[in-house]
Structure 1
Amino acid sequence: MAPFKQINLLYGANGSGKTSVLEAIHMVALARSFRQNIVRPVVKRGQQSLTVHAQFHSSDGITRNVGIQRSLKGEPLIRIDGETVRTVSQLAGIFPVLVMDANIFSLLDGSSKVRRQFLDWGVFHVEHSFFDAWRAYQRCLKQRNSLLRQGSGINNAQLAIWNEELSRYAVTIDNCRERYFNEFVLVFNQVLARLTECTDIQLEYRRGWDSQIDLSNVLTTTVERDTQLGYTQYGPHRADIKIRHQGVEASSLLSRGQQKIVAAALKIAQGLHYKQSKSHHCIYLLDDLPAEIDSNHRQAVCDLFVEQGAQVFITCIDKASIVGCFDKAKDLQVFHVEQGSVKPEPSEEGICGDSND
């Protein structure tokens, strides 16, 4: 396939394979699908594995070649510039991707896990000490929960050790998250003001335990209840972002369209903050952008993508519903997708500019 441009619009009928293109990009960025938690649904029927290759050109002139192989059994095989790497985190650091699809509403009405993962995407890419602390915390949490499930036979000396370790890593995780969040909110408010007049949205970071009490004390005082439940109730693994409108949960007051605008503002702000912090762009994957957004708000969203300069991949059924939003884009390519075949369309005068890639 020819090199993609800054703005890439893929249109076609339902089931034509548009989203599969986005899925392939996400696979080569994170070695997994954004739609499926397991590999089997994305492997072609009758095959035992899938392979995706891509070449990335960063803004500082560095070219990276990445290959991903996922089989129905076993861990992913990841190769970067011909070298095998062992962890997905090494891959994720090269190719930051943000997804906006039908699940975007879960940022407002979903579980705390969704918002925690959203928060940690940004913290991972910006705060260098975060990932090691988070990984160590997860190991400690697993050990503590294992002890708790022993019930009356619990070893208090070992429990005290894991309480201490959890608390130590929790401080690093919380500090990283709070620093990131305070910076992110400023960017979010600016983006939201560009997208909608409904700017009375408040974001609040919740760290996962009482902010006035040291976690080690919380773990000690709640051990009886934790033992009954068989897991640790409090800590960074229970962190959340509260999203409110006029002091009430935003999902309960805002219309579906307003919710999508707020969620889009969260994603766009996250990419913009990444650019400001790292001097690099992330890549946006937008599946069916026109859905539930009126033309005015759709234009405002597209203007922000053009101004930000990030590479964007957008799917839709009718190209007329979106292509006109990019009149200002100098680097636009339209692709028609039919039965899995992706064909670039000739540039249109006044719409598609020449590429410098």
Structure 2
Amino acid sequence: MPLKQLKIEHIRNLEQVNLSPLSRINILYGDNGSGKTSVLEAIHFLGLTRSFRSGQFRHLVQEGCDRSLVFAQADPLANGQSKPLGVERHLEGDVRARYAGASLGPADLAELLPIQVINSDTFDLLDGSPGTRRQFLDWGAFHADATFIQYWRGFKRALKQRNSLLKCGKIDPRIRRVWDAEFVHYAEQMTSLRQAYIDQLRPEFEAVLSALLQGVEVRLLFSPGWDQSKGLEPLLEAGFERDLRQGFTSLGPQRADLRFKVGTLNAADRLSRGQKKLVVSAFRLAQGALFHRLSNRACIYLIDDLPSELDERHCRQFCEFLQASANQCFITCVDPGYLSRIWDPETDVALFRVESGTLTHMGAPGDQI
């Protein structure tokens, strides 16, 4: 279990709260606006130094304060040793992250604390932009292979440089060949790791989906961003004049996409809203299952208002997967009654009541019945 204790300071309406002791399944309940989702944001901040609801840090920090801090006792490596993990960020932009006394960079922190978010925005995965789906894809590739981040950074640098040259209008052919070679090298390496990840994820996804959504077959496909049968280098050469007119590179991993197909149609055009929720739920659960199989470590799932997103039967099935997994979960709801009853008695579950930015540990569900 990655997180043992949690201390939150100055995040939205949470001035200073403590969550202790934490369990594997943690249910946060209370009225709307009480601060339940803010707790999830704080945990996300601990792993990624930002919120999942807003890209601007000033919206996360408590009004009238100039910094936010989240501190935990954590065992993210599953070695039975809890160590201090803390992240502090100031309005001016300064960020400090430390684990067991050592400073961490953003990639180190993200690798240490793998976090999955499931909320109303997550269920737009099928209808959203390719960029949204690439984020899901790259989360998995990043955690599946330690070299992915190196190729990702190298590709981003080469893409930025190539696009800058294209915007200039006139390019020395020798300089273009240098950056095209760099672009192709990193593009092919990064795409290979993306493809390998999807190949590993596909059977996990199909297994979970078959339990959640009977009678509908959804195929998970990967589009790399160019026709691989023709090779990226000749395609860049053939499309150079078009790229020059547009001022950006039109082919490559920056155009990659995940595709969910039902028959020959996109799942987004074929499935109902409820079915889409189940497909996305299966995808997220499969990612966590694969991560655990590859690393023998647990993910942290932040699940906002689960009962409102799934009907009772599918909510139960979803929770059965969480219960059978090794993942640590933080689930918000307004009324804890239903979520208090669906877990097996031996499952490690804790209830926290959230009221106006304060938290009270209410014990296990059995203590409330």
- Fold match (TM-score > 0.5): yes
With 60-69 and 16-25 compared, the bigger mean Cα shift is at 60-69
Mapped to 1, the partners of 2:273 and 2:368 lie a distance apart of: 31
Deviation at residue 247 of structure 1 after TM alignment: 2.1
Please tell me the residue identity of whatever aligns with 2:40.
L
With 198-207 and 183-192 compared, the bigger mean Cα shift is at 198-207
Deviation at residue 351 of structure 1 after TM alignment: 8.3
Mapped to 2, the partners of 1:3 and 1:95 lie a distance apart of: 19
Structure 2 SS opposite 1:301: helix
Query: Are 1:304 and 2:321 an aligned pair?
Result: yes
Contact 1:106/1:114 (<8 A) preserved: no
Please tell me the residue identity of whatever aligns with 1:67.
G
How many corresponding residue pairs?
Answer: 350
- Please report the TM-score for the alignment, with normalisation by the length of structure 2: 0.92
1:79 corresponds in structure 2 to 98
Mapped to 2, the partners of 1:46 and 1:350 lie a distance apart of: 38
Contact 1:26/1:33 (<8 A) preserved: yes
Mapped to 1, the partners of 2:118 and 2:290 lie a distance apart of: 17
1:325 corresponds in structure 2 to 342
1:62 corresponds in structure 2 to 81
2:191 corresponds in structure 1 to 174
Structure 2 SS opposite 1:345: strand
- Change in Cα spacing, 1:253 to 1:351, as seen in structure 2 (3 Å) is farther
> Of residues 154, 160, 168 in structure 2, which corresponds to 1:136?
154
Contact 2:143/2:291 (<8 A) preserved: yes
Q: Please show how residues 31-180 of structure 1 align to structure 2 within 5 Å.
A: 31-58=49-76, 59-85=78-104, 87-151=105-169, 153-180=170-197
- Change in Cα spacing, 1:22 to 1:256, as seen in structure 2 (3 Å) is same
Contact 1:16/1:340 (<8 A) preserved: yes
Mapped to 2, the partners of 1:298 and 1:351 lie a distance apart of: 21
1:274 corresponds in structure 2 to 291
- Please report the TM-score for the alignment, with normalisation by the length of structure 1: 0.95
Post-superposition CA distance 1:123-170 (Å, at most 9, x none) = 10111221101101100111000000011x222211111100010111
Contact 1:298/1:325 (<8 A) preserved: no
Mapped to 1, the partners of 2:89 and 2:124 lie a distance apart of: 27
Mapped to 2, the partners of 1:249 and 1:303 lie a distance apart of: 28
Post-superposition CA distance 1:290-348 (Å, at most 9, x none) = 11311110100000000012110000111123222223552000111000111111334
Contact 2:155/2:183 (<8 A) preserved: yes
Contact 1:188/1:265 (<8 A) preserved: yes
Mapped to 2, the partners of 1:120 and 1:57 lie a distance apart of: 24
**Percent identical residues:** 38
Post-superposition CA distance 1:255-313 (Å, at most 9, x none) = 11111111010000000000001111111000011113111101000000000121100
Q: Please show how residues 177-196 of structure 1 align to structure 2 within 5 Å.
A: 177-196=194-213
Contact 1:189/1:199 (<8 A) preserved: no
Mapped to 2, the partners of 1:114 and 1:351 lie a distance apart of: 40
Mapped to 1, the partners of 2:59 and 2:207 lie a distance apart of: 39
Mapped to 2, the partners of 1:162 and 1:329 lie a distance apart of: 58
Please tell me the residue identity of whatever aligns with 1:310.
N
Please tell me the residue identity of whatever aligns with 2:130.
S
Mapped to 2, the partners of 1:127 and 1:199 lie a distance apart of: 31
Mapped to 1, the partners of 2:361 and 2:347 lie a distance apart of: 16
Please tell me the residue identity of whatever aligns with 1:40.
R
Contact 2:340/2:365 (<8 A) preserved: no
With 4-13 and 213-222 compared, the bigger mean Cα shift is at 213-222
> Of residues 232, 257, 268 in structure 2, which corresponds to 1:215?
232
CA RMSD of aligned residues (A): 1.5
Please tell me the residue identity of whatever aligns with 1:110.
G
- Change in Cα spacing, 1:283 to 1:225, as seen in structure 2 (3 Å) is same
Mapped to 2, the partners of 1:278 and 1:214 lie a distance apart of: 33
Unaligned runs of 5+ in 1: 353-357
Mapped to 1, the partners of 2:180 and 2:202 lie a distance apart of: 32
Please tell me the residue identity of whatever aligns with 2:183.
L
1:355 corresponds in structure 2 to none
Mapped to 2, the partners of 1:278 and 1:78 lie a distance apart of: 23
Deviation at residue 198 of structure 1 after TM alignment: 4.0
Unaligned runs of 5+ in 2: 1-17
Contact 1:330/1:351 (<8 A) preserved: no
Please tell me the residue identity of whatever aligns with 2:273.
R
